[in-house]
Amino acid sequence: MHPRREDEGRPLQIIAHRGGSAHAPENTFAAFENAIAMGVRGIEFDLRMSADKEIFVIHDTTLDRTTTGSGLIAETPAAEIRKLDAGSWFAPEFRGEPVPLFDDVLARYDGRIALHIEIKDDSAELAQIVAGKIIAAEAFERCWVTSFHPGVHAALRACSKDLRLAYVMRKRTVESVETLRAADVQMVCPHALEITPDLVEIYHAAGFLVRTWGVKGDADLLRQISTLGIYGSTFSDLKAALEIVSPA
């Protein structure tokens, strides 16, 4: 018999994808605060590293799409990134929103909400810096660190056995229990279109939590997921999700 999981007996947890990017500029404090105000208990966001190894909350490899800057984040000094506007591209009322530093997110949401942190780059160095910040903040219980990259999982686990890790699976991919155990993760994150009751049972029997991603306004898919007894799923449109699923 598998050990009791923290999702057993709980409704599906709604996790705000990039903070709930349908309602506010993604990966900003405006989005995170809006998600909390809407009643969700978890926010998902992305991390990348500047040229001088500061860790910022941003999805793309470049600054172009979501800020007033341009160029690769990895080639831009932190001082330049801090000057950028990350809100006005979404709507004028968000003008002046900064690109958040991971340090500031950790401090601001201490005890307020669960943090689902995706390390975007296949970088052991980035993983080690992120792990060090979580360890220093003693934030193990409120942070899930996720990645597509096995090397990132290995680097994170080498930093601490207490980190809570999640293996994000790519579209049209389902990882075996053996692969997941080798990665030493506690949560699996398949794409929503790949999840089935049988797959959930396999992962649950092996002791893994299950959290899906990729639900984009498909009400029928959301209803299906909500009946599977899994930990949760990420959503960009929190209003649509909340109309179907009460927040856990």
Distances (CA, A) of 41 to 9, 108, 143, 232, 233: 17, 15, 12, 11, 12
What is the set of active-site residues? 17, 59
DSSP string, 166-187: EEEPPTT----HHHHHHHT-SE
∠ CA(186), CA(192), CA(193), 5° rounding?
135
Q: Which two tokens stand for residue 118?
A: 């995706």
| Contact predicate 248/13, CB 8 Å | yes
Q: Which two tokens stand for residue 171?
A: 């579209």
Could you tell me which residues come within 8 angstroms of residue 2 by beta carbon, excluding any fewer than 6 positions away? 204, 205, 206, 207
Residue 6 neighbours by CB distance under 10 Å: 11
Work out the burial of residue 65: count CB atoms within 10 Å of its CB; fewer than 13 is exposed, 13-18 middle, 19 or more buried. exposed
Could you tell me which residues come within 8 angstroms of residue 123 by beta carbon, excluding any fewer than 6 positions away? 49, 152
